Amino acid sequence: MTFYTAVILMTELLMLAMTLHVLHYSGFTKVQKTWFLLTFGAVMLCAGAEFTVHGVAYRPVYKTPLTIVTVVQFSLAPLLGILFSGALGLHRQKRVAVGFLALNVLVEAAAAPFGLVFYFDAAGYHRGGLFLIYEAFYFLSLVYLIVNMFVVGKRFSHRDARTIAMILLMLIAGIVPMTVFKLNITYLAIAISACLCYIYYNDLVQQDIQAELVENQKLISEMQGHIISGMASLIENRDTDTGGHISRTGAYVRTLAEYARAEGVYADRLTDHFILLLQTLAPMHDVGKIVIPDSILKKPGRLTAEEFEQMKRHAAVGGDVVREVLSGITDEEYLSFAADIAACHHERWDGTGYPNGLAGEQIPLAARIMAIADVYDALVSERCYKQPIPPEEAFVVMEQESGTHFDPQLIAVFLRHKEAFASLSGAAR
More confident: 31 or 164: 31
Q: What is the pLDDT of residue 243?
A: 54
Q: What is the pLDDT of residue 207?
A: 61
More confident: 17 or 189: 17
- CA distances for 25 relative to 28, 32, 34, 201, 368, angstroms: 7, 11, 12, 12, 50
Q: What is the pLDDT of residues 255-307, one digit of tens each?
A: 999 999 999 999 999 999 999 999 988 888 888 888 888 888 878 888 898 99
Q: Please state the rounded mean pLDDT for residues 383-390.
A: 82
140-144: long-range contacts at Cβ-Cβ below 8 A with a sequence spacing of 24 or more? 140/78, 141/78, 141/79, 141/80, 141/81, 141/82, 141/100, 142/81, 142/171, 142/175, 144/81, 144/82, 144/85, 144/96
- CA distances for 132 relative to 135, 312, 324, angstroms: 5, 87, 73
pLDDT tier for residue 387 given thresholds of 50, 70 and 90? confident
Q: What percent of the chain has pLDDT over 90?
A: 35
Q: In this structure, which topology does domain 216-427 adopt according to CATH?
A: Hypothetical protein af1432 (1.10.3210)
Element (H or E) spanning 130, and its range? Answer: none
Q: Please state the rounded mean pLDDT for residues 372-388.
A: 87
Q: What is the pLDDT of residues 112-126, one digit of tens each?
A: 999 999 999 998 999
State how far the Cα of 169 lies from the Cα of 217, in Å rounded to an integer: 38
Q: Please state the rounded mean pLDDT for residues 361-382.
A: 94
pLDDT tier for residue 80 given thresholds of 50, 70 and 90? confident
State how far the Cα of 303 lies from the Cα of 107, in Å rounded to an integer: 95
User: Cα-flanking dihedrals φ and ψ of residue 126, to 5°?
Assistant: -145, 150
Q: What is the mean pLDDT of the chain?
A: 82
Q: What is the pLDDT of residue 278?
A: 93
Q: What is the pLDDT of residue 31?
A: 85
Q: In this structure, which topology does domain 3-205 adopt according to CATH?
A: Rhopdopsin 7-helix transmembrane proteins (1.20.1070)
Angle, in degrees to the nearest 10, between helices 272-281 and 332-344: 60
Q: What is the pLDDT of residues 44-67, one digit of tens each?
A: 898 888 888 888 888 888 999 999
> Is 76's pLDDT higher than 80?
yes
Tell me how long the chain is: 429
Q: What is the DSSP letter of 78?
A: G
Q: What is the pLDDT of residues 361-371, one digit of tens each?
A: 999 999 999 99
> Is 179's pLDDT higher than 60?
no
Residues in a beta bridge with 402: 406
pLDDT tier for residue 43 given thresholds of 50, 70 and 90? confident
Question: What residue segments make up the domains of the chain, in order of their start?
Answer: 3-205, 216-427
Query: Strand runs (DSSP E) across 84-212, as ranges?
Result: 118-121, 124-127
pLDDT tier for residue 428 given thresholds of 50, 70 and 90? very low
> Is 177's pLDDT higher than 60?
no
Q: What percent of the chain has pLDDT over 70?
A: 77
pLDDT tier for residue 335 given thresholds of 50, 70 and 90? confident
> Is 408's pLDDT higher than 60?
yes
3-state helix, strand, coil in the chain (%, to 5): 75, 5, 25
> Is 200's pLDDT higher than 60?
no
Looking at 49-58, 206-215, 373-382, which range is the least confident one? Answer: 206-215
Q: What is the pLDDT of residue 88?
A: 73
Looking at 214-218, 255-259, 351-355, 372-376, which range is the least confident one? Answer: 214-218
Q: How many helices (H) and strands (E) does the chain have?
A: 17, 2
> Is 20's pLDDT higher than 80?
yes
Q: What is the pLDDT of residue 189?
A: 54
- CA distances for 314 relative to 200, 236, 355, angstroms: 55, 14, 9
More confident: 195 or 305: 305
Q: What is the pLDDT of residue 427?
A: 43
More confident: 183 or 316: 316
